[in-house]
Amino acid sequence: MKTIQIGASQLKASAVALGIMRMVRLDTDAAANVLETVHDRGVNFIDSADIYGNGDSERI
């Protein structure tokens, strides 16, 4: 997975992000499977916000 350095820091983010706005539609097992799958492929950039699913997407 290609990564991009974040500013002048030593942090790097994957060039591909996972948006979890609709994660609330999944049960916790399916959501965990999605997160494990993208993590195994090198994705470490997750687009989340407390307004997604009224905060439930982040809780899942």
Which residues lie across from 47 on neighbouring strands? 19
Contact yes or no for 19/25 (Cβ under 8 A): no
**pTM (2 d.p.):** 0.79
* pLDDT digits 0-9 by tens, 14-54: 999 999 988 889 998 999 999 999 999 999 999 988 888 88
Which has more confidence, 55 or 30? 30
Give me the pLDDT at residue 24, please: 87
Has residue 10 got a pLDDT over 90?
Answer: yes
